[in-house]
Structure 1
Amino acid sequence: MLAIAGGKGGCGKTTTALGLAAALARDGGRPLVVDADCDMPNLHTMAETDRSPGVDAVAEGDSIAAATHRSTVVPGVDVLPAGDASGSLGRTALRRLGRARGRVILDCPAGGSDGAAAPLRHADAALVVSTGAPASLGDAAKTARMAEALGARVVGSVLTRTDDPPPTAPASDGSDRAPEPVLATVPEIDGDVLGDRVGRASYDRLATALARRNI
């Protein structure tokens, strides 16, 4: 499982999860995107699916397939919304998702709470999302350190809402640099970034970069 993590809410985690999944689907896969942010879920809204059933149903014994929704706005992508779950995504659901066939992408909560830590403990790898703002980069660096401490290998980062190249050197405290390598940048786009040609190309580059790293 690949965790999409970030220190700041609104940095683009859910969009990145769906954009990457759409790129994988264009390459012939059928990825599953899971809303691991049970207290502030928005995956179902962006993917335009029902909110229930969701991860709560999986935790209670329903099959993953029975709780999965097909997004009509992100073709080829399956969505497992939060349902009525709250708090941290449960260990039972995470263990079952870890045994699922196919690519599983976890859309994680922001910050350093137990809710953010739970999916990172079970993920095979983590991709950190940040804007180019110094505060967001600083929080991204903290998220990367937390992920590594919890056993999720950080494979790199994505910078959103920017055309600028990533910083080439950290500040004196090392806090304002995106976790390396920066695998893709996604420019600020008016309207639907997932449907925009430039946006799709950015997520295609991200999928290619991850494939080269066997992720």
Structure 2
Amino acid sequence: MIAVAGGKGGSGKTTTALGLARAFSRRGAPVVAADADWDLPNLVELADETGEPVATPATPREAIPEATGSRARSTVLRVARGERTVPVDRSAPVVLDAPKRPREHDAATVFSDLDDVVAEDTPLLLDCPAGASPDVAAPLRAADRCVLVTPLHRPALRDAVKTATIARRLGCPPLGVVVTRSRSVPDAVSELFGCPVLGRVPPSSPVPLADAAVEAAYDGAATALVEAYGADRWRIA
């Protein structure tokens, strides 16, 4: 399980979680991307707004208790409980929504249960809350490693370093950094975080995941992740 974490909101964390998930799918891997930011969930919305694949639909049986709007979605909670099986699909990620009533559930337990029901050879990405808030502790404790996401702005870098420190304390060391909205990355970034730069996502249009250069950047970051961590773990080309 990989936590996708960052500093301030708007750093590109959710875009990176979905961008990496789609990049793994392009390499033929079965992928699960789950929204772990339960107070401000937007992974589903981003998946819907940026085309195929959209968020994973709920079955009629599970749509009743947690339906929101006209299109109910499979949630992290229902998959973790075993009420919704994880489909095996090597061409599109499974995208899971946050629970409708998050404060009624213990996030750490849900993420741990989710890890148990997702196959070990499947990349599982958690889109974490922004910054170093208390809510980020649950996904960081549950995950094995994390990927840090930050633009090259001083306040964002400072907050991302705080998040990296918390992640290491919780036993979730960073595999690397994805630098967003940047035309170049100085060597000092790797030194600052104590881990490699996995990729650089260029500035783009208001819909980054529709940009071919952004897609290529996430393909490169996914390749770096496979080489650094997933080659012997994930079912991936």
TM-score interval (norm. to shorter): 0.7 to 0.9
Shift of 1:92: 2.8
Question: Percent identity among equivalent residues?
Answer: 40
Higher share in helix: 2
Whole-Å Cα distance in 2 between the matches of residues 169 and 76 of structure 1? 32
Is 1:130–2:150 an aligned residue pair? yes
Whole-Å Cα distance in 2 between the matches of residues 85 and 196 of structure 1? 34
Contact 1:53 1:83 in 2 (8 A): no
Structure 1 moving runs of 4+ over 6 Å: none
| 2:223 corresponds to | 208
| 2:211 corresponds to | 196
Shift of 1:89: 5.8
| 2:66 corresponds to | none
Contact 1:97 1:104 in 2 (8 A): no
Aligned-partner SS, 2:198:
strand
Aligned-partner SS, 1:38:
coil
| 1:57 corresponds to | 78
Whole-Å Cα distance in 1 between the matches of residues 23 and 80 of structure 2? 28
Is 1:77–2:97 an aligned residue pair? no
CA shift digits 1:23-48 (9 cap, x unpaired): 10000012110000000000110011
Contact 1:21 1:77 in 2 (8 A): yes
Shift of 1:139: 0.6
Is 1:118–2:124 an aligned residue pair? no
Count of aligned pairs: 203
Could you tell me which runs of 5 or more consecutive residues in structure 2 were left unpaired when the two chains were aligned.
49-54, 56-70, 231-237
Is 1:9–2:13 an aligned residue pair? no
Amino acid at match of 1:203: Y
Could you tell me which runs of 5 or more consecutive residues in structure 1 were left unpaired when the two chains were aligned.
none
| 1:160 corresponds to | 180
TM-score, length-scaled by structure 2: 0.78
Amino acid at match of 1:39: D
Shift of 1:114: 2.6
**Cα separation, partners in 2 of 1:214 and 1:169, compared to 1, 3 Å:** closer
| 2:196 corresponds to | 181
Shift of 1:98: 1.4
Aligned-partner SS, 2:209:
coil
Amino acid at match of 2:76: V
Larger RCO (alpha carbons 8 Å, 6+ apart): 2
| 2:51 corresponds to | none
CA shift digits 1:126-172 (9 cap, x unpaired): 000001101100111110000000010211111101112235279xx
78-87 or 1-10, which moves further after superposition?
78-87
Contact 1:128 1:179 in 2 (8 A): no
Shift of 1:178: 4.5
Shift of 1:179: 4.9
Whole-Å Cα distance in 2 between the matches of residues 10 and 198 of structure 1? 20
Shift of 1:181: 1.0
